[in-house]
Structure 1
Amino acid sequence: MSEDAELRRLRWRCRRGMRELDQLMLRYLDGRWPVADEPERALFLRLMDTEDDKLWRWFMGRERPEDTGLALILALPH
Structure 2
Amino acid sequence: MTGRLTVTMDDRLAALVRDAAARETGGNVSEWLTRAATSRLLAADAAALAAWDAAHPDERSAELAEREAEREARWAEGDRGRGAA
Q: Same fold (TM over 0.5)?
A: no
TM-score range, shorter chain: under 0.3
TM-score (norm 2): 0.23
